[in-house]
Amino acid sequence: MKFFVDTADTAEIKSLAASGLLDGVTTNPSLIAKSGRKILDVVAEICDLVPGPVSAEVAATDYDGMIREAKVLRAIASNVAVKLPLIPDGLRACRTLADQGTMVNVTLCFSAAQALLAAKAGASFVSPFVGRLDDIGQDGMGLIADILTIYRNYPALKTEVLVASIRHPIHVVQSAKLGAHVATLPPAVLRQLFAHPLTDKGLAGFLADWAKTGQTIA
């Protein structure tokens, strides 16, 4: 499974990229707004920090506007994935951009039928939002299972399932068990994957025993 981080905080991205565990980045207008910076500057800096896909979202909701904005975004760097909403004009724009060789991330997916349409439109990634479904009493991980089942029935569909709106490490583990291609995580959740009290306890014990030896390695 590939790990993307869901943020526009370039300091966070730089720190996580240094771990060697980061495969890409997703952003959206809300995350850009929190940064207080211009979108083109933020995306350009992120693209310099990570070699993998960097999702940058259009603001337009009509076909012509999406294509116009996508042209600006994809000119920033070769690893930009243009992020489009899962609406009719978004899927039309997806088809056009995919045919031109542009990576596209179709976002705001909440049903298996929508995911099938995104794949038919040539999306590189489709982003189902599991946490938001859980919030309204629906089964977010059930949606991931349904999408993967459908995609596996049709090998010609090359769209990767990018699990979004992840709230906790259990979402990540469940997604990996189902075989999702990508998980995009808030920085705090990505760091939670490291944490376990027995790891901390074991390390403390090892260090205490080592200190008793009075030795050094270097």
Q: Count Cβ atoms within 10 A of the Cβ of residue 63 and give its class: 0-12 exposed, 13-18 middle, 19 or more buried.
A: middle
Q: Which pLDDT band holds residue 122 (cuts at 50, 70, 90)?
A: very high
What is the predicted pLDDT for the residue at 218?
86
Q: Sign of dihedral through CA atoms 53, 55, 58, 61?
A: positive
Structure tokens at 89: 């004009």
Structure tokens at 100: 């031109």
What is the predicted pLDDT for the residue at 29?
86
Give yes or no for a contact between 39 and 54, defined as CB atoms under 8 angstroms apart.
no
Structure tokens at 192: 């939670």
**Residue 52: which of 1, 3, 18, 85 has the closest Cα?**
3
What are the pLDDT digits (tens) for 68-82? 999 999 999 999 999
Cα(53)–Cα(55) distance, integer angstroms: 6
Active-site position among 83, 120, 201, 212:
83
Secondary structure class of 37 (helix, strand, coil) = coil
Q: Which CATH architecture has domain 2-213?
A: Alpha-Beta Barrel (3.20)
DSSP for residue 191: H
CA angle 192, 137, 133 (to 5 degrees): 60
What is the predicted pLDDT for the residue at 35?
87
What is the predicted pLDDT for the residue at 34?
87
Residues 6 or more apart from 129 whose CB is under 8 A from it?
Answer: 108, 109, 110, 140, 164, 165
Prediction pTM value? 0.94
Q: Domain limits of the chain?
A: 2-213
Average pLDDT over residues 28-49: 92
Structure tokens at 57: 């979202």
* CA neighbours closer than 13 Å in the CB half-sphere of residue 60: 16
Secondary structure class of 111 (helix, strand, coil) = coil
**Is residue 83 among the annotated active site residues?**
yes
